[in-house]
Copies of this chain bind each other. A is one copy, B any other.
């Protein structure tokens, strides 16, 4: 097949006609498919069902390690055994870890709200008093991160993503501005590109010298144990907190994680690991906000997993369910778009997304075509701050939730739509 950009007008017209026919056939199926959000499928959720039985009416001992009753008030930073579990997951020390209820997004929100209202260690004043406050946003990235930044009045500054993480030259340049208060990123199997930051990138993060004395790196390690190929190729990202502490810069780091995509989204746990000073500060904030997290649910998780090894065994089962879905997505993309020259995509080793970069100016049209034919995608632009993709090019595909049997047709429709949009675009320029 010829690449689209090499086709003549006539060839494009004939290609368009063919695509319109295929599109109509798909549309006639009356599909109702959704590959928009990174949601576990029911088979994945079923893996965690035994956890629900582990604290029950026959339980005799409701005490956690420090002697508190998990059914009653107290232990605002989480039960010790659960802090230890998350310390293993996030590669931090247990006394640097605070465990709450769901989710890491909620922790990010609370940390930002706290910094805006009260400031954090090192702050000369609450961030909210800095009218020109800015948040660095490596993009493509996670729409809900950007939305929190925007809600709290930050100017969102795009940083380019390279194959090994954010463009660190750019980051180092930007942080010379004292109104740049932080950066939000997903360091492993990033949302949506599945990029893992290289050791060199992490080391540069750990040694940043920002102008703002209270600059923070929000390190949302949402996919830290989410390898698709546990026995094969998988990524390793070192602990930013450990590296930053070696440089005496531990206060710069909040590492976040959760079990949202390990056990149950919204009925899982989240954790933040940080320096001793940050941890004490955030614990103090939490002690105003509530009188302890759901310790019963923390205990369920501890009894279910016991330790990191238990988590990894569980994630192996998750991978068995979702790996074929990722492979289907990649196979259809290759078959349908591989020779067209109108799209590039990643082949992630973990995480929850495949990110497709389409012909500039065709992402919105592709989403609209899919929607019209019964396939829901995340809105075009959503992977960029303010929902504005400067190239109208990047779309996020979330393979996990859709039934395996429906994914091929969903991806076929996606590909047809992307090709049709490209043909239309190119024809409009002829």
Contact = CB atoms under 8 A, between A and B. Distances in A.
Interface of A: 37, 39-40, 42, 45, 48-50, 52-53, 55-57, 59, 62, 69-74, 101-103, 105-106, 109-110, 113, 116-118, 128, 144, 147-148, 151-152, 260, 264-267, 288-297
Contacts of A55: 52
Contact of A117 (B48, B128, B295): B128
Given A53-B56, A101-B294, A289 B117 contact: no
A207 B103 CA distance: 39
A260 to B, nearest CB: 8
Contacts of A62: 45
A292 B37 CA distance: 14
Nearest to A263: B71
A109 B290 contact: yes
B267 A297 contact: yes
B72 A39 contact: yes
Contacts of A291: 103, 105, 144, 265-266
B71 A296 contact: no
A289 B106 contact: yes
Given A50-B57, A266-B291, 9 more contacts: A39-B73, A52-B56, A53-B57, A72-B265, A74-B266, A101-B101, A103-B290, A151-B288, A267-B295
Contacts of A294: 101-102, 266-267, 294, 297
Contact of A45 (B53, B69, B267): B69
Contacts of A48: 71
15 contacts: A42-B69, A45-B62, A49-B57, A52-B59, A53-B56, A72-B264, A73-B260, A101-B294, A105-B291, A117-B117, A117-B128, A128-B128, A265-B292, A266-B290, A266-B292
A415 to B, nearest CB: 27
Contacts of A144: 288, 291
Nearest to A299: B267
Nearest to A150: B288
Contacts of A267: 70-71, 294-297
Contacts of A70: 267
Contacts of A59: 49, 52
A309 to B, nearest CB: 22
A55 B52 CA distance: 7
B288 A148 contact: yes
Contact of A109 (B49, B260, B289): B289
Nearest to A128: B128
A105 B110 CA distance: 15
A323 to B, nearest CB: 20
Contacts of A74: 266
A145 to B, nearest CB: 10
Nearest to A268: B294
Give the top 10 A-B pairs by smallest Cβ distance, nearest first: A49-B57, A266-B292, A267-B296, A106-B290, A45-B71, A73-B265, A109-B289, A267-B294, A71-B264, A52-B56
Contact of A72 (B45, B72, B109, B110): B45
B265 A40 contact: no
Contacts of A50: 57
A427 to B, nearest CB: 40
Given A53-B57, A57-B52, A152-B117, A105 B289 contact: yes
Contacts of A106: 289-290
A151 B281 CA distance: 13
Contacts of A103: 290-291
